[in-house]
Chain A
Amino acid sequence: MRELFGRPACLTDEPFLYCPGCSHGIAHRLVAEAIDRLGIRGRTVCVSSIGCSVRCWRNFDLDVVQGAHGRGLAVATGLKRAQPDKVIFTYQGDGDLAAIGMGETIHAAARGEAITVIFINNAVFGATGGQLAPTTLVGQVTSTYPGGRDPSWVGWPIRVAELLAQLPATAYIAREALTTPQRVLRARRAVQLAFEVQIKGQGFALVELLAACPPNLKLDPVQALNWVETKMIPHYPLGQLKPAKGAAR
């Protein structure tokens, strides 16, 4: 019997422990599929971040290095500079990458470190219970700003992909959403491309994946996906902010 659908070799048989409707499971799978398809499992190292995906090492059947909160891209820089022939990727949320880790993020991108970044943007701090993130939308209710994000008080949400796309050493920057099958297929291509860019030595590659966090949005899973579609995508437009050299747009 031919297997049409199965668990990628890069995933362990540990169940995902994420909340119902959380997008991390899909994102994990896309990463694992890309590594499988490219045949790079044996030379890939994952840098996990701090947040809901802090224990992604349970699910990725890969060498994994757990970095400190926000320092993922500095850890990845050390790993990559120490072994340039290996494939290094970070898996980071918006708090980790864009709040406490923004310095490491911008400088790794500015140096053009040949690292693949999978950036999960769900507009909220998930693991700590729904506090304001740098990507929280204007008016969005969080546990630290129950009246909604007021730009006059805490500023505007940061468009990370646009920010990094301006830097000359970034090689590929894209944003996709994990809301519908069509969008997931687009995201799948983007994730794979982000690894291919590294393998070709083109520079820094980042895919921002808009993700749903139902419990912290106080929505059910379907409502949460709709919220990403109708609220997040208008603020965070999808597509290639910086296309990779020689790749189809």
Chain B
Amino acid sequence: MKREYTFAGFGGQGILFMGQVLAHAAMFAGFETSWMPSYGPEMRGGTANCSVVISDRKVRSPLVYRPDLAVVFNNPSLQKFGPRVKPGGTVLMVADLIDGGPDRDDVAVYPVPARGIAERLGHPAAVNMVMAGALLAVDPTVTPEQFEAALRTVTPAHRLATLGANLQAIREGMGFVTARRQDRPATGGGGE
């Protein structure tokens, strides 16, 4: 088993954090994992992205060229990473920050109005956790419980106040996608 993820958006959207929580959850689940921030020229360009690999044996390449699943938070990220997703893979996108979608029909696409959901919750900074919830709804690699345990570990002491809002955002994201999947059961979520 090997699953590769890419998270991409603007700096400040909690992209790197979201990937770290997933990697922690994978470790807690007993998997091998790696988390790799964007590196090099892109680092200062206002965009942020990271890769996570989860595997049942030692991770070879921590660099992800063709993810099974991409979570994109803005148009440049969709343009850059949408085409790289493996055929049969998944694109989760923040629908209210992105125009259109990936120009391909061999991937499952989940547009999630995460900004609106986060704002409605009164936690506009929790867009990343709404998307994390969406991810947990379509990808069974780690359980919501493992993800939550990881979130509690990774959240720094001075931000513990955000924990409740983040947990709520995760539930909302999961709920949104689960409801849509029941409406439209045809779309696949895995990449295996």
Contact between A and B in the complex (any CB pair below 8 Å): no
B residues near A (Cβ < 8 Å) are none
A residues near B (Cβ < 8 Å) are none
